[in-house]
Amino acid sequence: MKDWNEKCAVVGIYNAHNASILSYYALFAMQHRGQEASGISAANGEKIFTHKNNGLVTKVFDEPTLKKLQGIASIGHNRYSTAGEDSIDDCQPIFAKYSLGELAIVHNGNLTNAKKVRKGLIDEGAIFQSHLDTENLIHLIAKSHKSQLVDRITDALGKIEGAYALVFLSRTKMFAVRDRYGLRPLSLGKITNPDGSIGYIVASETCAFDLIGAEYIRDVNPGEMLVFEGAYSKHIPIPKSIKIFEPNPKPCIFEYVYFARPDSKVFGRNVYEIRKQMGIELAKEHNIQADMVIPVPDSGVAAAIGFSKQSGVPFELGIIRNHYVGRTFIEPTQTARELKVKLKLNPIAELIADKEIIVIDDSIVRGTTSKQIIKILKQAGAKKIHLFISSPPTISPCYYGVDTPEKSQLICANHTLEEVREFIGADSLAFLSLEGLKKSIQSSDDEAFCQACFDGNYITIPQE
């Protein structure tokens, strides 16, 4: 499924001798969450240095650039736009000088009252340099009359609504915070420096910890702020925890379906095991036999393995993904859209010709990508194609940092199951139930997730 756009990665490194390099590797590990732009800010106790640009992590940074980002604290960001435009002004980190010194911010999420807050700030004389909702925070912090940065941040957070995992970097301190719902993920880890001193990392996914050898400690709690200070001491204290808001946890359930890397631990659970269980539950709900089960790579692989395990239908890698396809600068015609799918996905005709196959994908949004996948499989000679989706039908757009289309463009929100099946051209179509998804996550009765994309029940909606 390729109609969802992954939604940004953030990282913060504190008290590490090569902080900017560690941020670089963490962002590299989380490249799947955003491919439009990347940026890093580093602090050395006196000044903040920032470098950012459009493009992948490996394009934006090289060794000379990273050497210029001096300091033992740094923050970083991979961007896929949900608010803002495709320009360098809308890359993160956002940086500004203000009365208390210098400040850089990275943000994963979407502020649902951003337009209202921005208008109020402009009416009071604020001048904005970007289209980002994150820039509201710079102005709110600068306007606060509190004498300490931690109090100014708390002031600013009290004026915004929506989804956020935020990391702030001053010249000497770092702050990490999640909204009261914990919609977007943020985990805390420990770094052991070569001299034996201890540093810390916060990141959107724990796959970033694995690459740099950090030890997972716990998630940052919903409504919690962690304060990192004392960076220039060999033995810094553990981050100070401040309860900013009364927590009301409703983490995004779609992190498990698609966004997160399967080797990550998100919201305290391993993503791969959950996706495999989704495939098991899908097979329990829809008992069907065929010659083989094949995944749409890469997000459908774990669910297809689970489906094969439960159903007994053999698993095969019938579709191969080209991982080296970037953006294609051609007109968005129907021919171009079909070519885009072929550039990324290629079926093994010798394997699937004259076979009845079960295709496992993670979701259907507009339906156009699924239609093209079914088409290329039929052209490769598949005799019969059953498309099984390891999540419920997507019926509502997301306002919390996920770039979904308007409801009018969501095929499952406007058509019956049979109409969707007919449009995409599969011989049969089935979805995992919402109950099956929750069972896969093994959530307790009193544990709630944000599942507005599947049931339309929003926590908070945008304000004009």
Which residues are known to be catalytic?
8
CA distance 176 to 220: 8
Taking the mean position of all CA atoms in its chain, how far away is CA 413? 23
Which strand (E) or helix (H) includes residue 168?
strand 162-169
Scanning the structure block, which residue is given the tokens 């109090």?
Answer: 151
Q: Locate 256 and state its tokens.
A: 């498990």
Rg over alpha carbons for the chain, rounded to the nearest Å, is: 23
CA distance 374 to 361: 11
CA distance 328 to 31: 19
Scanning the structure block, which residue is given the tokens 């507009």?
Answer: 366
Scanning the structure block, which residue is given the tokens 């890698």?
Answer: 317
CA distance 174 to 226: 8
CA distance 136 to 143: 11
Helices marked H in 221-264 — which ranges? 254
How do the residues of the chain divide into helix, strand and coil, expressed in percent and rounded to 5? Answer: 30, 25, 45
- Cβ-in-10-Å burial (0-12, 13-18, 19+) of 132 comes to buried
